[in-house]
Amino acid sequence: MKNAPLITSIEQCENFLKANKESGVKFEILSIRGKYEFIKQIKWSIRYACLNLSDKCLVLDYLKYFTGYSKSHLKRLMKKAVKGTLAYNPSKSRNKFAQKYFPVDIALLIKTDCWHQCLSGEATKRILVREYEKLHKTDYAAISKILRRQRLGIY
């Protein structure tokens, strides 16, 4: 990060944090790539791996000020930076479940539940199905397919 102040000593880090705590001004690096680059630069400029525990905490506070990340997240990122494996990968995909019900559907379920004074789950499901199939209200199409818990047949 070219615009963020790059520290080279623990004293600079401590002075910066004290001065900004008193002023109340808050800066934050917006891009993830910028945050990662800043973390790498700080790691090299201050020689993070050679610091003692209290100094490392001070550096993590400094990084937290600019990145907005939690200390635990910064510790993980610094561990990667020390190993040399910290890299931003925008194409990295995560496994996500497909969204089945949207906020509109959930709002409709809440509205229906309030109209009928919080009936049981089975009764509410039947109302939703009836609204869609018998009364042909297309708003209820997705939420009418809500599954009820299957009974195991064990008594």
Band of pLDDT at residue 143, cut at 50, 70 and 90: confident
Band of pLDDT at residue 150, cut at 50, 70 and 90: very low
DSSP 69-136: --HHHHHHHHHHHHHT-----TT-----PPP-S-HHHHHHHHHHHHHTTS--HHHHHHHHHHHHHTS-
Segments making up each domain of the chain, as ranges: 10-83, 103-145
| Per-residue pLDDT reduced to its tens digit, 42-64 | 998 888 989 999 999 999 999 99
Band of pLDDT at residue 3, cut at 50, 70 and 90: low
Band of pLDDT at residue 76, cut at 50, 70 and 90: very high
The mean pLDDT value for 12-36 works out to: 85
